[in-house]
Chains A and B, each alone.
Chain A
Amino acid sequence: MYDPPSAAELVAAVRAFLEEHAMPALEGRAAFHARVASNALGIVERQLRLSPEHEASELGRLRELLGRDGTLEELNRELCRRIRSGELSLETPGLGSHLRATTLAKLAVDQPRYSGYRRARERG
Chain B
Amino acid sequence: MSGSRELAPELERLVTARLPQARGIEGLRRLSGGASQETWSFDALTGADPIPLILRRRPGGLSGPSESGMALELPTEAKLLELAAKLGVPVPEVRLVLSPDDGLGSGYVMQRLLGETIPRRILRDDAFAEARPKLARQCGEILARIHAAPADALPELPVAAAPEQIAQYRALYDAYDHPHPVFDLALRWLEDRAREPERIAWVHGDFRNGNLLVDADGVRGVLDWELSHRGDPMEDLGWICVNSWRFGAIDHPVGGFGSREELFAGYEAAGGGAVDPERVRYWEVLGTLKWGIMCMTMYAIYKSGGDTSVERAAIGRRSSETEIDLLELLEA
| Chain A positions near chain B (C-beta within 8 angstroms) | 32-33, 36-37, 39-40, 43, 73, 76-77, 79-80, 83-84, 86, 89-90, 96, 99-100, 102-104, 106-107, 110-111, 114-117, 119-120
Which of A37, A39, A77, A96 contacts B331 (CB under 8 A)? A96
Q: For residue B179, which residues in chain A have a CB less than 8 angstroms away from its CB?
A: 73, 76-77, 79-80
| A116:B243 contact, CB within 8 angstroms | yes
A76 to B183, CA, bound (A): 12
| B317:A111 contact, CB within 8 angstroms | yes
| A115:B248 contact, CB within 8 angstroms | yes
A90 to B320, CA, bound (A): 19
Chain A residue with minimal CB distance to B330? A90
- 8 additional A-B pairs beyond A90-B330, A110-B317, beta carbons within 8 Å, are A32-B311, A33-B310, A96-B331, A102-B181, A103-B324, A111-B321, A114-B321, A115-B243
Tell me, rounded to whole Å, the shortest Cβ–Cβ distance linking A96 to chain B. 6
A-B contact pairs, 20 of them (CB 8 A): A33-B310, A33-B311, A36-B310, A37-B310, A39-B314, A40-B313, A40-B314, A80-B184, A89-B185, A90-B330, A96-B331, A99-B182, A99-B323, A103-B182, A106-B320, A107-B320, A111-B318, A111-B320, A115-B250, A116-B321
| B324:A83 contact, CB within 8 angstroms | no
Whether B304 is near chain A, meaning CB under 8 Å from some CB there, is: no
Whether B188 is near chain A, meaning CB under 8 Å from some CB there, is: yes
- Known contacts A39-B314, A83-B184, A84-B187; A104/B324 CB under 8 A: yes
Chain A residue with minimal CB distance to B248? A115
Chain A residue with minimal CB distance to B183? A80
Tell me, rounded to whole Å, the shortest Cβ–Cβ distance linking A13 to chain B. 18
Tell me, rounded to whole Å, the shortest Cβ–Cβ distance linking B123 to chain A. 12
Whether B246 is near chain A, meaning CB under 8 Å from some CB there, is: yes
A111 to B316, CA, bound (A): 12
A-B contact count (CB 8 A): 86
Q: For residue A110, which residues in chain B have a CB less than 8 angstroms away from its CB?
A: 317-318, 320-321
Q: For residue A104, which residues in chain B have a CB less than 8 angstroms away from its CB?
A: 324
A107 to B330, CA, bound (A): 18
| Band of interface residues on B | 20 to 34
Which of B181, B310, B325, B331 contacts A80 (CB under 8 A)? B181
0/1 string, B289-331, CB within 8 A of A gives 1: 0000000000000000000011101100110110111011011
A116 to B318, CA, bound (A): 12
Q: For residue A89, which residues in chain B have a CB less than 8 angstroms away from its CB?
A: 185, 188
A83 to B249, CA, bound (A): 32
- Known contacts A40-B314, A116-B250; A103/B188 CB under 8 A: no
0/1 string, B31-60, CB within 8 A of A gives 1: 000000000000000000000000000000
Q: For residue A119, which residues in chain B have a CB less than 8 angstroms away from its CB?
A: 250, 328
Looking at A39, A43, A100, A115, the one whose CB has the most chain B CB atoms below 10 A away is: A115
0/1 string, B167-183, CB within 8 A of A gives 1: 00000000000011110
| B327:A43 contact, CB within 8 angstroms | no
Which of A83, A86, A117 contacts B181 (CB under 8 A)? A83
A96 to B185, CA, bound (A): 10
Q: For residue B181, which residues in chain A have a CB less than 8 angstroms away from its CB?
A: 76, 79-80, 83, 99, 102
A37 to B185, CA, bound (A): 32
| A90:B185 contact, CB within 8 angstroms | yes
Tell me, rounded to whole Å, the shortest Cβ–Cβ distance linking B176 to chain A. 12
A32 to B314, CA, bound (A): 13
Tell me, rounded to whole Å, the shortest Cβ–Cβ distance linking A119 to chain B. 6
| A116:B324 contact, CB within 8 angstroms | yes
| A103:B313 contact, CB within 8 angstroms | no
Q: For residue B327, which residues in chain A have a CB less than 8 angstroms away from its CB?
A: 96, 99-100, 103, 120
Looking at B184, B248, B313, the one whose CB has the most chain A CB atoms below 10 A away is: B184
A80 to B243, CA, bound (A): 24
| A90:B331 contact, CB within 8 angstroms | yes
